Amino acid sequence: MKASTFVYPWDVNGDPEAARRIAGLGVRQVTLAAAYHSTRALTPRHPRHRIVTAEHAAVLYPTDARWEGRVLRPHAAGDWAPGDAYGEAAAALADAGLEVHTWVVLAHNSRMGAEHPDTSVVNAYGDRYPWAPCIAQPATRAYLTDLAAEAAVRPGARGTELESLGWYGLQHLHAHDKTGAVCLGDAGYYLMALCFCPSCRTGYGAQGLDPDELAAAVRDALEPLWRGAPDDGGWAGVEKLLGEEKAAATRAWRDETARTLQETAVGAVREAAPDGFQVLLHADPMTYRVGANPGVDPAHILGVADGVVVPCAGGPGLLTPFAEQGREGAVIAANLPVVAGMGGSPGTLAADAAAAREHGATELRLYHAGLASDDDLEAVRSALGSR
């Protein structure tokens, strides 16, 4: 199977050996960050630094005139990725014989939430999630659509992978994060992700729900979980906690909101891209799930995008609903973590790849060549047969 690895520009720029080292892993492609959220990252082999602190969500290239005069607009990176950091890294990787695709993070932006609080998801308690732009708001949707088109279609890129093109929720590691004291599970996290900003309140109303009554019902449904009751998990758990009718109405609103944004954003990328440009979404086959791999309807999304990148840290099972669609030519990429220090299993990559293939994977994504140790990379080289 074709394999690609994720890379940041700062993994490559300033390290004359980086592109050659990545090509030597046996991958044919790199997925290179062009727009990314705030992070603190290791660079364990870089000759100039070992820690990179990206202080805020940023684009890693110079923006164009489309943003002039707009309130919501992307910010340039600081000294962690100055100028056209993406373009510099992309050129080095292409010179090493690698096909370069862009990696674009969309509805995950703490700086937007800090500067424009009204753009954020608001939970049933009135708490704002500054890292999570509400994708129901018209201005936010316009921003995300234009960002997708601009960041995805960089010079020389052969395709893109759009991350967090959907709802984001509570699950977000923050500075000194201390939100894990109560194990919420799928159902609890869904309820904590329900947004009650003005746009979403209007949306619930269109589904026949009174938003104030819904918020109260969500708080009541969550109360047993705060006291330590087990979360039954899955959609059945949401229905049990909230009631089938209310649960279905919230999901109808959220599914339609995400689906139409995905259609619009992918359409904007295709309009800006050359022929043959590949568009993939990071995705989960359960539409109620949120985060970097937002939930999608497999049948729908494979009719919109060229394929999906599916999280497989917990095993290959999430690949199956996409593979079952039988879409000829669709890319179903298994995203496998290969950084042992972050819970990955580089030593079992060959077996994990074989299992992914059995569940319908057509390609592999390896997370993440820039973060991995030398031992991790050696295990990847061995698994991909390039020793």
Domains with residue ranges and CATH for the chain: 2-178+257-383 (3.20.20.80)
- Is residue 386 predicted with pLDDT exceeding 60? no
Q: Which residue has the tokens 């093109």?
A: 165
Mean pLDDT, rounded, for 284-293: 96
Q: Is the dihedral of CA 61, 67, 69, 70 positive or negative?
A: negative
Q: How much is the pTM?
A: 0.96
- Supply the DSSP symbol for 274: P
Under the banding of pLDDT at 50, 70 and 90, the label for residue 184 is confident
Q: Regarding beta strands 29-36 and 58-59, do their DSSP bridges make them parallel or antiparallel, or are they unpaired?
A: antiparallel
Within the chain, where are the H helices? Answer: 9-12, 18-23, 85-95, 110-115, 138-152, 185-193, 198-206, 211-226, 234-242, 244-272, 298-301, 320-323, 349-358, 374-383
- Is residue 290 predicted with pLDDT exceeding 90? yes
- Supply the DSSP symbol for 385: T
The structure tokens listed for 321 are 């609903």
Chain segment 13-50, per-residue pLDDT in tens:
999 999 999 999 999 999 999 999 999 999 999 999 99
Omega within 30 of 0 (cis) for the link into 368: yes
Residue 139, CB-side half-sphere exposure with 13 Å CA sphere: 12
Chain segment 51-89, per-residue pLDDT in tens:
999 999 999 999 999 999 999 999 999 999 999 999 999
pLDDT at 387: 42
What is d(CA 355, CA 346) in angstroms, rounded to the nearest whole number?
A: 14
Chain segment 186-210, per-residue pLDDT in tens:
999 999 999 999 999 999 999 999 9
pLDDT above 90: percentage of residues in the chain: 93
pLDDT at 124: 98
pLDDT at 180: 65
10 Å Cβ neighbour count for 335?
A: 26
Cβ proximity of 87 and 16 under 8 Å: no
Mean pLDDT, rounded, for 126-154: 98
Mean pLDDT, rounded, for 280-303: 97
Mean pLDDT, rounded, for 281-300: 97
What is d(CA 171, CA 160) in angstroms, rounded to the nearest whole number?
A: 24
Under the banding of pLDDT at 50, 70 and 90, the label for residue 183 is confident
Chain segment 316-335, per-residue pLDDT in tens:
999 999 999 999 999 999 99
Q: Is the dihedral of CA 305, 329, 1, 344 positive or negative?
A: positive
Between the CA of residue 170 and those of 124, 180, 199, 267, what are the distances in Å?
12, 11, 19, 29
Under the banding of pLDDT at 50, 70 and 90, the label for residue 103 is very high
Under the banding of pLDDT at 50, 70 and 90, the label for residue 230 is confident
Under the banding of pLDDT at 50, 70 and 90, the label for residue 181 is low
Chain segment 345-382, per-residue pLDDT in tens:
999 999 999 999 999 999 999 999 999 999 999 999 99
